């Protein structure tokens, strides 16, 4: 399947909107497809993780990001921010605090999330 930048952007936006508006389960195939066709972009993993978070499956959210998002070439900083949130929500507060200390040294989404949770 060939996915250009516009296609990826549209799929990402549709999936994110579905997840946020209570349609997390039906949105999951969108994110799985994005992970498969754009493995160097964390957007699919971020969306899949958000879908898991919206369903209360925090450990699944962490696992998806650790497997597919944190080392991606594109959007890894955003993946780290959502990863921190998922770790925190899973009840692993000490681990989240350690992650936040590193993120607070940087800039962008990771720093913002760390500051929101522990700042």
Domains in the chain: boundaries: 5-118
Its pTM surpasses 0.75: yes
Residue 73 makes CB contacts below 8 A (sequence gap 6+) with: 40, 41
Contact status, residue 30 vs residue 15, Cβ threshold 8 Å: yes
pLDDT at 63: 98
Query: Which residues of the chain register pLDDT less than 50?
Result: none
The fold of the 5-118 domain, in CATH, is: 1.25.40
pLDDT at 5: 75
């Amino acid at each position: 399947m060939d996915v250009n930048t516009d296609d990826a952007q549209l799929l990402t936006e549709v999936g994110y909107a579905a997840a946020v508006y209570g349609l997390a389960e039906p949105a999951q195939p969108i994110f799985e497809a994005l992970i498969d066709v754009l493995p160097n972009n964390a957007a699919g993993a971020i969306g899949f993780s958000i879908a898991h978070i919206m369903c209360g499956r925090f450990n699944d959210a962490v696992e998806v990001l650790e497997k597919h998002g944190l080392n991606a070439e594109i959007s890894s900083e955003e993946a780290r921010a959502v990863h921190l949130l998922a770790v925190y929500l899973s009840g692993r507060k000490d681990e989240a605090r350690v992650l936040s200390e590193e993120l607070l040294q940087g800039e962008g989404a990771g720093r913002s999330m760390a500051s929101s949770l522990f700042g």
